Structure 1
Amino acid sequence: MLRDLIQDGFGEKEDFNCAEKILYGANISYNLNLSPEALKLSTGFGGGMAIESVCGALTAGIMVLSHRYVEGAGHQNNKIKEINQRFFREFIAEMDSIKCTHLKLTHRKEDIGCFDIVLKAAEILDKLMVK
């Protein structure tokens, strides 16, 4: 699924940022049928919203989960709140933080950049999308 797509280098040729890799890849992996215009919404979330705040792979993951699990307004159903919390908890358990600054210091590698971070987000997202 998405993890395999990312593992195979999805988004590298296009020079996608972390958020774009997750949303564009999820669109393919989960058949979300998002339009090109909708996919562009992820662009500004890369690099922790360009200020090294919450990881762009996570914010794009929230977009994916929202698309899959929300009908109508989000506050009308606790499902998205619960699944977002699980996404963040599992990511923190594996990576120690959701903050881009911390993740870059502890998991980013010179030769592959944030590949391991995006791969972990994709792996957790795969599990949540199956349930």
Structure 2
Amino acid sequence: MLYELINEGFGDKEDFNCAEKILYGANQAYNLGFSHETLKLSAGFGGGMAIGSVCGALTAAVMVLSSLYVKNNAHESTKIKALSLELFSTYRKEMGEINCGPLKARYRTEELKCRNVIATAAKVLDRIIERENGQSAPCKAVI
């Protein structure tokens, strides 16, 4: 699903940042139906919101989870907080960090840029969505 897209270089030719790769890729992998205007919302989250804070791949993953598991707003959702916490804690266990600056220092290469950082976020997101949806096939929201 999303992990395979990212691993194959999805978004490289478009010069997408980390957040864009996750949101645009998830739109394709999970059949989310986001408009171009919606997808553009991820642009400012790359590079840890340009200040090296939480990795844009993770913030975009939270956008995907919100789209799938929030009907109207966060306070009515019984899942979004727990799923977001799971995303961050699982990612931190796998990568040792969630902030862009240290992740770039540890994993970014000239050849692949941050592909491995982004692919790990995609892998964690895929696992959560597959479990929540009870299947491995891409599908629109299960709220």
Aligned length: 131
Amino acid in the other structure paired with 1:26:
A
Task: Work out whether 1:96 is the aligned partner of 2:100.
Answer: no
**Moved beyond 2 Å, runs of 4+:** none
Structure 1 position 5, deviation (Å):
0.7
Partner of 1:27: 27
CA offset digits 1:77-122 (Å, max 9, x no partner):
2310000000001000001111101101111112211110000000
Structure 1 position 13, deviation (Å):
0.5
The 1-side partners of 2:48 and 2:78 are apart by 26
Structure 1 position 7, deviation (Å):
1.1
Amino acid in the other structure paired with 1:28:
Q
Aligned-residue CA RMSD (Å) = 0.7
Amino acid in the other structure paired with 2:96:
D
The 1-side partners of 2:14 and 2:110 are apart by 19
Runs (5+) with no aligned partner, structure 2: 133-143
Task: Work out whether 1:62 is the aligned partner of 2:92.
Answer: no
The 2-side partners of 1:24 and 1:112 are apart by 19
The 2-side partners of 1:106 and 1:9 are apart by 20
The 1-side partners of 2:14 and 2:105 are apart by 25
CA offset digits 1:37-61 (Å, max 9, x no partner):
0000000000100111110000000
The 1-side partners of 2:13 and 2:77 are apart by 38
The 1-side partners of 2:37 and 2:65 are apart by 18
Structure 1 position 10, deviation (Å):
0.6
Considering fraction of residues, name the structure with more helix: 1
Runs (5+) with no aligned partner, structure 1: none
Partner of 2:10: 10
Task: Work out whether 1:86 is the aligned partner of 2:109.
Answer: no
Q: State TM-score, norm by structure 2.
A: 0.90
Q: State TM-score, norm by structure 1.
A: 0.98
The 2-side partners of 1:24 and 1:111 are apart by 22
